[in-house]
Amino acid sequence: MCSGRVDLSFVLRAFTNGADGVYIGGCWPGECHYVTEGNYDTLFNMHLGRKLLEHVGLNPLRLRLEWTASSEGTRYAEVMNDFGKQLKSFGPLGAGEGLDESTLKLKLEAVTKLIPYIKLVERERLRMRFDKSEKYDEYFASDEFARLFDELVVDKLAVSEIMLLLQGQPLPAKEIAQGLGLTPAAVSRYLNSSSERGLVRYDEELKRYALA
């Protein structure tokens, strides 16, 4: 199977099911078996996936992409042994980053629910195609990408997290901020915009926010 077939939803499903890390192996750049250069799409998705993991508080290096030809059995074994040692040093998913189980579940679910939207904006606004791996590194480390990520993804993800948190019970803004690790000002902004869109409502009697 072409590594370009590996969807971000596959990666998130693995983490949601308890995997401490995800490894993707692809053909070396310039050696695509299907003449589609799908491995460059994989490289882009790996960087985007790492950015999403980092944003929700997970170590981005838990997602790893390596170029490995079918004849490179020794290299594959070395890479997997190294990845295994690396994951062991990170600790269990979530716990290694100081996230409790419920918070980890909520954050992964929030990202997963947003994947159709992320794939849309990725295709329309974020995607770039370069001819060298180093250029992808530069693009994802650039101010341009950081600006686009903040503009297109960050707010949507925060609202997704808030919606999931309120599914459990109505909560005051302060507890929402504490539960998600956001500033009170940011939560107030998200709640106001969500209220205007008819997603949440403020319960005057309980003095708490609830799903509309």
| Better-scored residue on pLDDT, 82 or 124 | 82
Q: In terms of C-beta distances under 8 Å and separation of at least 24 residues, what long-range contacts does 175-178 make, across chains too?
A: 176/209
Which one-letter amino acid corresponds to residue 156? Answer: K
For 170-212, how does the pLDDT look when each residue is reduced to its tens digit (9 = 90+)?
999 999 999 998 999 999 999 999 999 999 999 999 999 999 9
For 169-212, CATH number out of 3.20.20.70, 3.40.1110.10, 1.10.10.10, 1.10.3720.10 equals: 1.10.10.10
Q: How far apart are CA 38 and CA 26, in angstroms?
A: 9
C-alpha 178/C-alpha 58 separation (Å) is 18
Q: How large is the average pLDDT for residues 10-27?
A: 95
Per-residue confidence (pLDDT) for residue 29, from 0 to 100: 81
Which H helix or E strand runs over 78?
A: helix 73-90
Q: Is 86 exposed, middle or buried (0-12, 13-18, 19+ CB in 10 A)?
A: middle
Look over the chain and give the mean of its residue pLDDT values, rounded to a whole number: 92
Q: What is the pTM of this model?
A: 0.90
Give the tens place of pLDDT for each residue, 120-142. 998 888 888 888 889 999 999 99
Residue-level pLDDT at 3: 82
Helices (H), 91-132: 101-121
Higher pLDDT, 85 or 131: 85
Listed in order, the ranges of the chain carrying CATH 1.10.10.10 are 169-212
What's the pLDDT score for residue 31? Answer: 78
